[in-house]
Amino acid sequence: MAKTRTKYVCQNCGYQSPKGFGRCPGCGQFNTMAEEVVEAARPASARHPGPVGATSPAPQRLSEISADVGERLFVPVEEFSRVLGGGIVPGSIIMIGGEPGVGKSSLLLQICGVMSDHTGTVLYVSGEESARQIKMRADRFNLQSDNLYLLTETNLGSIFEHVRRLNPVILVIDSIQTTYMDEIESSPGSVTQVRECASRLQHLAKSSGLSVFLVGHVTKEGSIAGPRVLEHIVDTVLYLEGDPFQAFRLLRSVKNRFGATSEVGVFEMSGDGLTEVPNPSEAFLAERVVNAPGSAIAVTMEGTRPLLVEVQALTSPTSFGNPRRTPNGVDFNRLLLISAVLSKRVGLKLHEQDIFVNVIGGLQVSEPAADLAMAVAMASSYYDRPIPADLAIVGEVGLSGELRAVGQLPARLNEAAKMGFKRVLLPKTRRKIDGLPPSLKLIEARNLADALASALPKE
Specify the residue, 116 or 126, whose C-beta has the smaller distance to ligand ATP: 126
Determine which residue in the list 11, 32, 81, 105 makes contact with Mg ion, applying CB under 5 A.
105
Query: CB of residue 128 vs Mg ion: minimum separation in angstroms?
Result: 6
Number of residues in contact with Mg ion, rule: CB under 5 A? 1
Query: CB of residue 105 vs Mg ion: minimum separation in angstroms?
Result: 3
| CB 317, CB 350: distance < 8 Å | no
Binding partner of residue 397 among Mg ion, ligand ATP, none, CB cut-off 5 to 8 Å per kind: none
Specify the residue, 234 or 313, whose C-beta has the smaller distance to ligand ATP: 234
Query: CB of residue 274 vs Mg ion: minimum separation in angstroms?
Result: 13
Specify the residue, 174 or 302, whose C-beta has the smaller distance to ligand ATP: 174
Work out whether 126 is an interface residue with Mg ion (CB under 5 A): no
Query: CB of residue 106 vs Mg ion: minimum separation in angstroms?
Result: 8
Specify the residue, 234 or 416, whose C-beta has the smaller distance to ligand ATP: 234
Query: Which residue has the closest beta carbon to Mg ion?
Result: 105
Stretch that binds Mg ion, among 1-9, 15-23, 87-95, 104-112 (CB under 5 A): 104-112
Query: CB of residue 111 vs ligand ATP: minimum separation in angstroms?
Result: 12
Specify the residue, 105 or 353, whose C-beta has the smaller distance to Mg ion: 105
Query: CB of residue 57 vs Mg ion: minimum separation in angstroms?
Result: 38
Stretch that binds Mg ion, among 102-110, 273-281, 426-434, 436-444 (CB under 5 A): 102-110
Stretch that binds Mg ion, among 101-109, 188-196, 204-212, 396-404 (CB under 5 A): 101-109
Specify the residue, 11 or 106, whose C-beta has the smaller distance to ligand ATP: 106
Specify the residue, 274 or 397, whose C-beta has the smaller distance to ligand ATP: 274
Q: Which residues bind ligand ATP (CB under 6 A)?
A: 98, 100-106, 128, 140, 269, 271
Query: CB of residue 152 vs Mg ion: minimum separation in angstroms?
Result: 13
Q: Given the rule CB under 5 A, which residues bind Mg ion? A: 105
